[in-house]
Amino acid sequence: MTSPSPAERLLDDLEITEPDEIDVEVIAWAVGARVRYRPLPRGDARIVGMGERAIITVDDRASRVRQRFSVAHELGHWHHHRGQRLICHGGSVDAEADACEREADRYAADLLIPRSMLMPRVADAPISFALVERTARRFGVSTLAAALRLADVHPGKFALIVTEPDGRRWFRRSPALPKGWRVRVDTPDFQSRTHPPSDPDAMQHVLAYYHLLGRGLRGLLVSRETVQLRSGQMLMIINAVS
């Protein structure tokens, strides 16, 4: 059993036990931060803190889902990076290069999709795009945020491959995917094809080596779902359950 993260402990302290009780403004207020909405010239949000008080400013033109994530992300900075430079321009930051941004994103995921609420809802359901969408709706988060969170906690053996609008690809693997299996992001078939938005019901079965490398994969089939996200990204779910 993983011990609760700081965000999950905060939810416990506030006796929040259901996804629709995760009201980010109320949670912010409980930790001394006020949230206000106005147009921001760049980035989705920022936080300015002094002593025990902070103001989080969120772009009022962003979608509600994005605003919630932004508030939760800034609360991550408030928890982890208080007293440090507290002006954050999310969205313009290279997340890979910035450990603070990753830490704030992690906090946001824990706050908005806490393990204790997610696990009972997904433990018996095989990974699929339908499950990702259901999770996104239930927790009021983006499809990608739900998918990444499922890759943290779901017991299935699967990998997510995300293609950015500029063609850059990255992946996330579930904990149960055998360690010796490497995820390929260079699959020629994948690279050269322009995927139409797939019908979420149309799951394909393909040879595992299209997407995975390692021992024991010969002849193995994996299921594959590809979906175009509203963000312009492409999400592929490679599920190694035969």
The footprint of Zn ion (CB under 5 A) covers 88, 90, 101, 104
Contact indicator for 104, 74 with CB cutoff of 8 Å: yes
For Zn ion, the nearest residue by Cβ is 88
Nearer to Zn ion, 11 or 104 (CB): 104
Q: Which among 54, 88, 93 is positioned nearest to 73, based on CA atoms?
A: 88
Residue (of 151, 146, 145, 155) closest to 120 by Cα position? 155
In the complex, the smallest distance separating the C-beta of residue 9 from Zn ion, rounded to whole angstroms, is 21
Distance CA 98, CA 100 (A): 5
Residue closer to Zn ion, measured from CB, 58 or 122: 58
The CA distance from 163 to 171, in Å, is: 9
Name which of 90 and 140 has its Cβ closer to Zn ion: 90
Residue 242 tokens, joined: 């035969």
The least CB distance from residue 70 to Zn ion, in Å, is: 9
Q: Which is nearer to Zn ion, 28 or 217 (CB)?
A: 28
Tally helices (H) and strands (E) across the chain: 8, 10
Q: Which is nearer to Zn ion, 70 or 163 (CB)?
A: 70
Shortest separation between residue 73's beta carbon and Zn ion, angstroms: 5
* CA separation for the pair 176, 155 (Å, rounded): 6
Written as one letter, the residue type at 148 is: L
Minimum CB separation from Zn ion for residue 75, in Å?
Answer: 10
Q: How far is the CB of 90 from Zn ion (least distance, A)?
A: 5
